[in-house]
Structure 1
Amino acid sequence: MVRTPLRIAALLLVTCLVVALGAGCDEDTADAPPPQPWRFQSEAAPYAIEIPGEWQKTDSGELNDFADLAVTLADSYFLIVIPQELPQYEGVAAPDAKAIKRASLALLRERIDKFEIERTGPLKLGDQTALSIFAEGLYETDPVQYIATYATRGPWGYQIVAWGPQEEEDQLIAATDALLSGWKFTSPAPSTPSPADEGEPPTQPK
């Protein structure tokens, strides 16, 4: 079955979507052993991820010009990591995860038809707490599920966006959770952890 995945383009924030084409499955691989996990070590920012073998690296330029990492699972689910070094001014606090989330959501509401947040809450990312939102929207007439996670650590901000067909929300959540469980910050822990919204963990749908 051929699926139509989505493409996101943004500087730090998701700003637009376009269409790309996916491919179907090969029946000959049904009895093959599960693919082995693989490690991504960023050369642009201080983080690494132990990634489940089902996720495959793809050309980040095809999904987001500013993504440090872009992966796909069966050409149905997609995830990008956009790190950015935050501005540092003497006497002025750097943007935190909440600030990144607010700016991102403002653009998402502007750019995505019928964009609605379903729930928001804290998410464990490496050795600290990040912020996650679950939302839905339309690409043309296709319902799309979004999972966006925001974190800061030292002078770095991170936006992690996963998306896929809305009718496969549970599978997208499970696949995204499995990938993010392998996240590791490779810089020293900050003295103050990233703030987290109050509420139930976002992976526990209400």
Structure 2
Amino acid sequence: MTNFPFKTNEQVCLPIKGSDEKFPVNHVYCVGRNYAAHAKEMGADERKPPFFFTKPNWTITTDDVKYPKNTDDLQHEVELVIAIGEGLSIFGFAVGVDLTRRDVQGKAKKSGKPWFSGKSFLGSAPISNIIPIKPSDDLSNMELILKVNGDIRQSGSSTEMIWSPKEILCEMAADIPLGQGDLIFTGTPARVGKIQSGDIIEATITDRAELSFKII
């Protein structure tokens, strides 16, 4: 048994739909600028390739989200999330929301600093249960919808991705040691937008994965 000088953190886990088992979350990776329309609305060149960034696994939540400090511009980004299993296999998928302090992110961009403070805060990665993948599931053809207080804000399809889920896996695995328990947020379609305290967020992927939470 390994001894530590202090108590270690509990393993971050997510429910698996239809199972008593839990999915242990290791690393959380995100793909930026993977939908041309979103890249354009952010003022970026949609012809440039996607890129990667990370969120700590403590940003993961399945509960309501407290409005974060130090921002007046909290925004939603609905995403297809890939869950990695053994041997770089795709264990399953989920619907997630990459919550972003857009004003904080914008300041970091202008000063040439990393996005960490704009993307990483408690509850900044709400996610649904993990849906075990079936042979009939086509992750490159999934519909994503996000509603705020019942009104559709984002609607898109993974067919619009610049890099498909398989291409994302290949690109990432060539550079970093992807492993079981890793999650990949694969990018967001256009029409990201501002949310505030009291808003109820609902996100779905092809009627298979569902997520609902409130900004409190």
The TM-score by the shorter chain falls in which range? under 0.3
| TM-score scaled by length of structure 1 | 0.26
Structure with the bigger RCO (C-alpha within 8 Å, sep 6+) is 2
